Structures are given as structure tokens and as C-alpha cells.
Chains A and B, each alone.
Chain A
Amino acid sequence: MNDTRTPVAPALVLRRTYTAPRQRVFDAWTKPELAMKFLGTGDVTVPEVRMEVRTGGSYNIVMRMPNGELWNVRGTYREVRPPQRLVMTWRWEEEKPEDEHDTLLTLEFNDLDGATELVLTHEQFADEDSRDRHQEGWAKIMEQLAALAYLEERKK
């Protein structure tokens, strides 16, 4: 893949292979009636999904927690390339708006002879520019702090 790149810590990368063609997997992420069936997990339900799937379009996902609280996720599509790639910002709504923070979610749908490998990358940075600007700093933090035995001890 020409898109593959090493995400900068802290980033979450999950890979999963589905026995379905990638257009179907892509549809599950881009059709509200399908997305609401899997984005709600466990006791969490998704009463509302609004999506404007085009580059620059926005989306909004409402999740209902078991205690009745409603959580909101919203963001903007940065890249929509059916059926292979979807890049969007992802922002959890917080009680205090100043605690909110745009993150970047990248979904890659790779064709494996009719099956689909989904690669999900969730990063703390809102876009590739800001990730690149922060790369050196994060790398240093991780390098210097990850090895600190005494911080580990304090956590225990």
C-alpha cells in the first residue's frame, strides 16, 4: 500500500479481517443504518447517526450509555475514497468544551481476494500536519519517560 506509514505514538492500530468484500465493509462505516448497529457496543446503544460522507462533510454519532447519559461524537471527513480509505476527525464531546480534542481516525480497507482487511488507526492528533509537528516531541517523551522505572513504581 502506498499509504502505509508509521503512526506516531500515542496511536492505536487495530487490524481485523472480515469475510466480506470491502465495499460492504466500507458501507457499514458510511451508511448510518448499518453504523448504528455496530458502533454501539455492549449496553451502549446508538439512537442517532448523521453522516454527510464526502470530503469536508461532517458526521455526528449519539451514543446512549447504560445509565441513560448521551455521549456525542462528531467530526469531519478528511478523505473519502470508496471502497478503500476513509479519514476523519473524531471528537468526543466533553462537559467542558476546553477539554475537547480533535483526534484522527483512519480506516483502510484492503482487498484480500474477496475478503477485507480493515486497518483502524486512531491517533491523538487532528491531522497529519499536527502529527508531524508533534512527532519529535512525542518520540522524545516516549523515549525518556517510558523507561522510567520509578514512574512505574509510583503508578502501582
Chain B
Amino acid sequence: MVNTTGQLDAVFSALGDPTRRQIVERLARGPLSVGQIASRFSISQPAISRHVRVLEESGLLERHVLGRVHTCTLSPTVMKAASGWLDKQRSFWTAALDRLDDLLAESPKRKKIR
């Protein structure tokens, strides 16, 4: 879950690098192996592996191992954490603001305005 400041920092710092952002963009189109990612960049496979590891540690990228092939996919966790948090707060505040309306309506001052 991306709900702690440390994890958020890891995600943002992972996206602070242009190569890693490009990796994320490619993975957005579908899963790729580390080798396939490397073949699309003009930098060495060890360098790509390092970038993949940074993305993996941030939680943005998930690696699935099938035999000797490591397949990388983007994790929907980031989006889910963000939208789940918003949904929770929205329902809480919407109900609270309705009750505030009731509370203010109870008051004698409101009656004077009417």
C-alpha cells in the first residue's frame, strides 16, 4: 500500500529518472521481460536491471518469475491506494457535512434569518 510517506517518497524518487519513466510508459502497454525492456533501450542490461529493481522496490513494478524469465508488470496498487483513500474520505466528509447542515438548521439564529 502506498499509504506511508516513506513509500510515497520511494515512488516519486523512482519516477524522478527519465529512463525509469520510459520503462513505466512501456509497461503501461503490457507486460515485458527484463530482456525485452533492455532491448528497447540503448543502455546495458545490468543498468536496466538496476532501474527495474528501483521501480520494484517502490512498489510501482511487480516481477513475476516463470522459469528463467522475469516478467514485469505495472502494479495497480498506486492507483488503487490513491483512489481508495479518496473514496473513504469522501463518504466520511459528505455525511459529516450533511449533519452539519442539520446542526446549523436547529439553531434559533437560523430561524431569525427565515
Contact = CB atoms under 8 A, between A and B. Distances in A.
Contact of A99 (B4, B82, B85, B99): B4
A4 interface: no
Contacts of A39: 96, 99
A141 interface: yes
Interface string B10-50: 01110110000100110010100000000000000000000
B28 A148 contact: yes
Given A12-B86, A101-B5, A144-B25, A28 B104 contact: yes
Given A16-B97, A19-B104, A137-B12, 11 more contacts: A10-B82, A24-B107, A28-B103, A28-B104, A37-B99, A38-B100, A38-B102, A133-B12, A138-B12, A150-B30, A151-B76
A118 interface: yes
Contact of A25 (B86, B92, B98, B100): B100
Interface string B81-114: 0110110011011111111111111010110010
B79 interface: yes
Contacts of B30: 150
Interface of B: 1, 3-5, 8, 11-13, 15-16, 21, 24-25, 28, 30, 74, 76, 78-80, 82-83, 85-86, 89-90, 92-105, 107, 109-110, 113
A51 interface: no
Given A25-B104, A151-B76, A19 B86 contact: no
B15 A140 contact: yes
6 smallest A-B Cβ distances: which pairs?
A: A137-B12, A41-B95, A38-B99, A10-B82, A38-B100, A20-B104
Contact of B97 (A14, A40, A101, A137): A14
B104 to A, nearest CB: 4
Contact of B79 (A38, A41, A145): A145
A133 B21 CA distance: 18
B100 A18 contact: yes
